[in-house]
């Protein structure tokens, strides 16, 4: 009965490299959300995806960031040409197929990205 899994847990990149963060939702969940938490700050919504569709990307930076949730496999958050300001904890959450105000989101342990 695995919960949300994220890997890697820690990722170190040099400026200009690419970062790929993976998220496997709870089995049977078809909704995935990504959040970012900068040091000593609260969590900020980035993007909401269903299988093969981006539903809401209002929190995603316009450049360098992209997300996907393919029909098979984990959701991927991709950051191209990372900069020091991208250093943060990135959390993924999933929820079951029934969308709406009462659904619970289950969060993963996060990926801590450090950009040197």
Partner 1 sequence: DAKTTQPNSMESNEEEPVHLPCNHSTISGTDYIHWYRQLPSQGPEYVIHGLTSNVNNRMASLAIAEDRKSSTLILHRATLRDAAVYYCILRDRDDKIIFGKGTRLHILP
Q: Is 114 in the site for partner 1 (CB under 8 A)?
A: no
Token pair belonging to 77: 């958050």
Q: Which is nearer to partner 1, 48 or 79 (CB)?
A: 48
Strand order of the sheet with strand 5-7? 5-7, 19-24, 75-79, 65-68
Q: Is 100 in the site for partner 1 (CB under 8 A)?
A: yes
Contacts with partner 1, 37-76, as mask; x by CB under 8 A: -----xxxx--x------xx-xx-----------------
What is the rounded CA–CA span in Å between residue 60 and residue 111? 17
According to CB under 8 A, which one of 21, 33, 67, 69 is a site residue for partner 1? 33
- Give the three-state DSSP class for 84: helix
Of 112, 99, 49, the residue nearest 76 (C-alpha) = 49
Q: Which is nearer to partner 1, 45 or 76 (CB)?
A: 45
| Residue ranges that bind partner 1, judged by CB under 8 A | 4, 31, 33, 35, 42-45, 48, 55-56, 58-59, 91, 93, 95, 99-110
């Amino acid at each position: 009965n695995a919960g949300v899994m994220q890997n890697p847990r820690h990722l170190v990149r040099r400026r200009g490299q690419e970062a790929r963060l993976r998220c496997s939702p709870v089995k049977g969940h078809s909704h995935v959300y990504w959040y970012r938490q900068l040091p000593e700050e609260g969590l900020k919504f980035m993007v909401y995806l269903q299988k093969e569709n981006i539903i809401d990307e209002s929190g995603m930076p316009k450049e360098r960031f992209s997300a996907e949730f393919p029909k098979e496999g984990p959701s991927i958050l991709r950051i191209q040409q990372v900069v020091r300001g991208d250093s943060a904890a990135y959390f993924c959450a999933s929820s079951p197929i029934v969308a709406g105000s009462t659904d619970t989101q289950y969060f993963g342990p996060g990926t801590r990205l450090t950009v040197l």
